[in-house]
Structure 1
Amino acid sequence: MGGSGQVDQAVTANANVALLSATAATALFVVGPIFDRVGPRVCLLLGGWTYPLYSGSLLCFNATNNGAFVIASGAILGVGASFLWVAQGAIMTTYVSESHKGRAIAVFWFIFNLGGGVGSLASFGINYDSKTGTVSNGTYIAFLVIMAVGWSLGILVCPPSYVRSAHPQKKSDSERNWRQVARQSLKTIVDWRVLCMLPLFFSANVFYSYQQNGVNLMNFNIRTRSLNGALYWIAQMLGSLLMGMLLDIPQLTRPMRARVAWAFLVVTGMGIWGGGYAFQKWSDSRLQQGLKQDIDYTDGHTSVGPMFLYIFYGAYDAFWQSFCYWLIGAQSNSPAVAAVLVGAYKTFQSVGGAMAWRLNAMEKPAMTQFAMDWGLCMGSLCIAIPTVLAITLTSEADSTEKESTVAVNLDEEAKRD
């Protein structure tokens, strides 16, 4: 909805900076070793409660205007998000066979964005007759309850040993040394194939601040922003299914699927961002005329084009992140290695997002934010070419070799220690 449904976008922009900074600081070298020790169920339970806390802080802001509580809750949510996303990413990329990873990512992304779509439609209904620029208390209460229920469902998640019975994960006692696990995590990250993916990770969230605040918040009224949010997440659901099918085409080898998906991202990205450039010039002209937060979905002549652009923005986000997760899954079939790579993904994704939200909070021109987003997306796709070209037919052998190497290295380090 832009600004988390508030008129004052600076508070929630700074809360997002705190959130993403905390995620970046904890996802790789803090949560990764903890995940290796306690598994996905505990990580989901440790992280899930921070989501209703953040919704509660926005409810409190509606009544007290306490921005400090919102920002502090955002920082706590950032730590909780590290636990949730590292566990989720490891589950999604390693609980299925290689031939089904694209579909597994698509199924997750569909369910994930179904939540966003339902939430936005709920907000659309609750705020349909609203004449203010902020959402009602009932919106935040509904979100808080739904998030609390979702958190409690984490208790039902199965450990890897229940799902991957054909690939038992054996750990040596030395793996319990967190310093050694962190050292091995660093070795995993500095692989050249992973380094070439880091710009993709960095760019995965940079466009959220511009799209949610620069496009949705600045141009549409509250009920249309809610409707746009629903359409954005529905587009992500459909986009994830499309990308999942593309990444699992049985007639193509895995290296060929990687190249086809990369080319698809380039072509669709240039088309969508090119349309975004035309929109932003039009939006800047309207703002100079004093037209702000005035577009309603019933005004078809004005609203159809911008709303469809927002839909395509949502689909492209699904294309991008599905491809990132698929590349992660193509590096190894080990949950421990996947947790490290997902931690790196969330770390660099959060750094990029924090940078973008900070620029938004500083009220940098929307065209500047747009140009940065477009340039980062296309540039990072170019840097990822060596990794895309290095995708192999299977990761099974690589995974076994990596786990054996990890065990040997850790045993040798334990002896030296």
Structure 2
Amino acid sequence: MGIGAGVKDEESVTELPTKSRFRYNSPLVQVALIGLVCFCCPGMFNALSGMGGGGQVDPTAANNANTALYTTFAVFGVLGGGIYNILGPHLTLAAGCSTYVLYAGSFLYYNHHQHQGFSIAAGALLGIGAGLLWAGEGAIMTAYPPPNRKGTYISLFWSIFNMGGVIGGLIPFILNYHRTEAASVNDATYIGFMCFMTAGTLLSFAILPPNRVVRNDGTHCTNVKYSSVSTEATEVLKLFANWKMLLIVPAAWASNFFYSYQFNNVNGLLFNLRTRGLNNVFYWGAQMLGSVGIGYILDFSFQSRRMRGFVGIGVVALVGSAIWGGGLANQLPYSHDHPPKRLDFRDSAFAGPFVLYFSYGLLDAMFQSMVYWVIGALADDSQTLSRYSGFYKGVQSAGAAVAWQVDTHKVPLLSQLVVNWSLTTLSYPLLALLVMLAVKDDNKTGDEIVKEAAVPSSNKDVATT
């Protein structure tokens, strides 16, 4: 099987229905595999970032590395969908995963030499790699599942992926348990992250291309050929004038903008080193709960897909408002000029800030799963969804690049919180409008919807009205 050979090979995959969900070429197995890849690479990256400052006492190097990362990510997030459509999953995902290993290694180097240059360069390369990985992941997660079960498969992916953050949080907690004072993590922590990331790079070769994946009724995930450079360049440019993508921009910008505030100024400022690692176990664990809960609402709460979308957005809006309100109450007592005393998990004052940080993780998963569900409801073919997912990740990364510099320049913490709360709140009515105008609403059974998805889409948005 060639990568990016550009050949449609319908005879290579049986058209007969099969009932086994655990076939290697089933959507369930393939989504689980991309979840494991992200478990090892961005999952471990999240655990490293979630400690605040990349595990360093001074967050300046990590902030500058993350700015470089998300600047290149913004470009290659948009281009990533086109690159995935040209190269296919193996080259795209493996190239993306390998940059995570280099990034973790750059902080191992920084532990000894305190030179930012390597970390910043590694961050820029990781932005390129992350753009490729997440565009491919978005296409797989939104295009491979049956149309009536996309929320469930998104939840499955999100749970596996965030287990990486849970395990990754245990690594610094265990390896730095006796270092309760403010300190940088030890070398073994970074080496542990690098081992997982290397495994993820190798595992990416197990992902099948769309034309080799068959649903239980025998339908293919896509019947289109791999694309060309000229086609993808044209289609990517069209995204910037696509009204559906423009409505997603505020949600995309907001969805990573709050990380610098939560990681550096909540977890990083309020807790000591070992407790930050422990907190990350529960932060990413909360993401698993959040994705499962919102996935159930988006797939099973009502027969009408459009109504499920409205209810899901409403639930996230209510939960989000409550959590950011709690964040405001937590933020008022401290600032950059009046930093708090760092808490240990054994302190009596630990519970309140811990519950807030846990809730931030819950909201992150609910918010991003909701956005991915909306994107997945706009089309059913892999090529279109890879471009949509790439655009989402590109805008998301541009927001994150700005956010990390906002933190580097010591913008008041209360201002950071208000901006984050405002951005997420602005997103909800725009996503609801998108669901109302662009998501196909019918009351057919799941089997009927799946059979309709078997009809070749000719690379069109088959789910728009």
TM-score (norm 1): 0.91
Most deviating of 327-336 and 162-171: 162-171
**5+ residue gaps in structure 2?**
1-50, 443-448
Structure 2 counterpart of 1:56, from 93, 101, 105:
105
Bigger fraction of residues in helix: 1
Q: Equivalent residue for 1:296? A: 344
CA distance in 1, matches of 2:211, 2:338: 62
The aligned runs of 1:36-47 (5 Å cut-off) are 36-47=85-96
Note the C-alpha offset of 1:50.
0.5
1:268 is paired with a residue of what secondary structure? helix
Note the C-alpha offset of 1:182.
1.8
> Structure 1, residues 356-385: CA drift from partner, whole Å, max 9, x if none?
111011111111111110111101222223
Q: Equivalent residue for 2:261? A: 210
Task: Tell me: CA distance 1:98–1:359, structure 2 relative to 1, closer, same or farther (3 Å).
Answer: same
Structure 2 counterpart of 1:325, from 372, 379, 404:
372
1:369 matches 2:423: no
CA distance in 1, matches of 2:103, 2:316: 33
CA distance in 1, matches of 2:419, 2:169: 27
Asked whether the 8 Å contact 1:332–1:399 carries over to 2, the reply is: no
Note the C-alpha offset of 1:46.
1.1
Structure 1 counterpart of 2:427, from 380, 390, 400:
380
1:275 is paired with a residue of what secondary structure? helix
Note the C-alpha offset of 1:179.
2.4
Asked whether the 8 Å contact 1:17–1:358 carries over to 2, the reply is: yes
What is the letter of the counterpart of residue 119 of structure 1? G
Q: Equivalent residue for 1:21? A: 71
Q: Equivalent residue for 1:150? A: 200
The aligned runs of 1:269-348 (5 Å cut-off) are 269-284=320-335, 291-292=340-341, 294-300=342-348, 302-348=349-395
CA distance in 2, matches of 1:168, 1:229: 36
Note the C-alpha offset of 1:290.
5.3
> Structure 1, residues 39-65: CA drift from partner, whole Å, max 9, x if none?
112211111111111110000000111
Q: Equivalent residue for 2:219? A: 166
CA distance in 1, matches of 2:243, 2:74: 21
> Structure 1, residues 141-199: CA drift from partner, whole Å, max 9, x if none?
110111101111111111111214623644469x42x1232212333453322221121
Note the C-alpha offset of 1:138.
0.7
1:99 matches 2:148: yes
Q: Equivalent residue for 1:128? A: 177
What is the letter of the counterpart of residue 91 of structure 1? I
Asked whether the 8 Å contact 1:19–1:76 carries over to 2, the reply is: yes
Structure 1 counterpart of 2:296, from 227, 232, 245:
245
2:57 is paired with a residue of what secondary structure? coil
Asked whether the 8 Å contact 2:166–2:280 carries over to 1, the reply is: yes
Q: Equivalent residue for 2:307? A: 256
CA distance in 1, matches of 2:337, 2:232: 55
Asked whether the 8 Å contact 2:384–2:460 carries over to 1, the reply is: no
1:282 is paired with a residue of what secondary structure? coil
Task: Tell me: CA distance 1:110–1:168, structure 2 relative to 1, closer, same or farther (3 Å).
Answer: closer
Q: Equivalent residue for 2:54? A: 4
CA distance in 2, matches of 1:166, 1:242: 28
Percentage of identical aligned residues: 37
CA distance in 1, matches of 2:225, 2:262: 47
Q: Equivalent residue for 1:403? A: 458
Asked whether the 8 Å contact 1:262–1:388 carries over to 2, the reply is: no
> Structure 1, residues 332-377: CA drift from partner, whole Å, max 9, x if none?
1100001000100110000111111110111111111111101111
1:297 is paired with a residue of what secondary structure? coil
What is the letter of the counterpart of residue 160 of structure 2? I
1:364 is paired with a residue of what secondary structure? coil
Q: Equivalent residue for 2:406? A: 359
2:78 is paired with a residue of what secondary structure? coil
CA distance in 2, matches of 1:342, 1:172: 19
CA distance in 1, matches of 2:240, 2:454: 15
Structure 1 counterpart of 2:187, from 117, 131, 137:
137
Asked whether the 8 Å contact 2:106–2:118 carries over to 1, the reply is: yes
What is the letter of the counterpart of residue 337 of structure 1? T
Asked whether the 8 Å contact 1:17–1:357 carries over to 2, the reply is: yes
Task: Tell me: CA distance 1:203–1:402, structure 2 relative to 1, closer, same or farther (3 Å).
Answer: farther
Q: Paired residues, what number?
A: 399
How big is the alpha-carbon RMSD for the aligned residues of Structure 1 and Structure 2? 2.0
What is the letter of the counterpart of residue 403 of structure 1? S
Q: Equivalent residue for 1:414? A: none
CA distance in 2, matches of 1:222, 1:258: 40
1:231 is paired with a residue of what secondary structure? helix
CA distance in 1, matches of 2:57, 2:318: 36
**5+ residue gaps in structure 1?**
407-417
What is the letter of the counterpart of residue 212 of structure 1? F
Most deviating of 381-390 and 319-328: 381-390
What is the letter of the counterpart of residue 365 of structure 2? A
CA distance in 1, matches of 2:420, 2:457: 35
> Structure 1, residues 188-245: CA drift from partner, whole Å, max 9, x if none?
4533222211211111100000000011111110011111111100000111111111
What is the letter of the counterpart of residue 46 of structure 1? A
Q: Equivalent residue for 2:21? A: none
CA distance in 2, matches of 1:11, 1:140: 15
Q: Equivalent residue for 2:280? A: 229
